[in-house]
């Protein structure tokens, strides 16, 4: 069964990326105009951005993409948060007292991957325990894929940002030594200025990569917890159905058409 718990904010996420891209372009144009016009009131961040050179643009883009994905995933997991113990307690209570169909309706009204997986299993209750287990496994795989969406981009940003910083450092050092070679007199200030400009991109690349990598690891840990909860809840549901085997057999009997010949 296709999961009910699909990310409904994909379009908003794309709009957010587009807005950040526009802001990025505007910031780059502003920084360029600051260089050409020699703005007298540049802030420290703008000055660092301008001094860092051309590789500051892709680093800024990486930070924008990373922040957008982090905010989208935080909202996703906030919506997916589930008290698994409470959900299973309510489900088993409804299942024991009212039967399968009320339990299905109860799960259908709940949000989150745990409820979606259990609902998929109960929808296959009329086909027997093997069908329930298979439905739970399939739904769990779909939910896991939905939770992992976007993490590959976080990992990419965390890997690329420092490399862009190192590349900017190499480029800055090349320019610094070029200036030293062209100067008639080499001063300590000239050398220090060139190295300062070269190291800015390295610092900015690490500044972007560290929180992005931290967020990636946090989301991976959240996904691992959801996977464990889905496996435990699915196994508990199957055990509960086996416990209420007589009720299950009665339920299956009611699904047979009247007058149907008994199985031999």
- Domain positions in the chain: 10-249
User: Per-residue DSSP letters for 231-248?
Assistant: HHHHHHHHHHHHHTHHHH
CA nearest 51: which of 64, 32, 74, 68?
32
**Which runs of E-coded beta strand occur in 4-90?**
none
Q: How far, in Å, CA of 178 to CA of 174, rounded? A: 6
- Note the pLDDT tens digit of each residue in 176-223: 777 777 777 767 777 777 777 778 888 999 999 999 999 999 999 999
Half-sphere exposure of 42 (CA within 13 A, CB side): 20
**pLDDT at residue number 81:** 86
- Note the pLDDT tens digit of each residue in 51-87: 777 888 899 999 999 999 999 999 999 888 888 888 8
- The 10 Å Cβ neighbour count of residue 262 is 5
Query: pTM of the entire structure?
Result: 0.72
Q: How far, in Å, CA of 33 to CA of 255, rounded? A: 74
Q: How far, in Å, CA of 148 to CA of 6, rounded? A: 12
């Amino acid at each position: 069964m296709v999961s009910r718990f699909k990310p409904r904010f994909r379009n908003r996420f794309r709009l957010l990326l587009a807005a950040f891209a526009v802001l990025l372009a505007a910031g780059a144009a502003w920084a360029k105009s600051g260089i050409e016009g020699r703005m007298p009131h540049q802030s420290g961040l703008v000055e660092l951005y301008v001094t860092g050179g051309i590789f500051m643009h892709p680093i800024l883009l990486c930070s924008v993409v990373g922040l957008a994905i982090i905010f989208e995933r935080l909202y996703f997991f906030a919506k997916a948060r589930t008290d698994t113990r409470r959900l299973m307690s309510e489900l088993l209570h409804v299942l024991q007292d009212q039967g399968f169909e009320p339990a299905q309706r109860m799960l259908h009204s709940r949000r989150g991957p745990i409820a979606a997986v259990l609902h998929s299993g109960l929808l296959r209750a009329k086909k027997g325990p093997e069908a329930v287990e298979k439905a739970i496994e399939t739904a769990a795989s779909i939910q896991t894929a939905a939770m992992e969406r976007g993490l590959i981009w976080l990992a990419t940003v965390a890997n690329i940002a420092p490399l862009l910083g190192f590349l900017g450092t190499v480029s800055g050092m090349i320019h610094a030594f070029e200036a030293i070679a062209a100067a008639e007199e080499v001063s300590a200030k000239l050398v220090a200025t060139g190295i300062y400009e070269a190291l800015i991109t390295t610092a900015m690349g690490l500044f972007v990569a560290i929180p992005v990598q931290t967020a990636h690891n946090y989301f991976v840990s959240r996904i691992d917890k959801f996977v464990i909860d889905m496996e435990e809840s699915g196994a508990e549901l199957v055990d509960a159905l086996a416990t209420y085997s007589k009720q299950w057999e009665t339920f299956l009997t009611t699904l047979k058409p009247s007058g149907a010949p008994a199985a031999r």
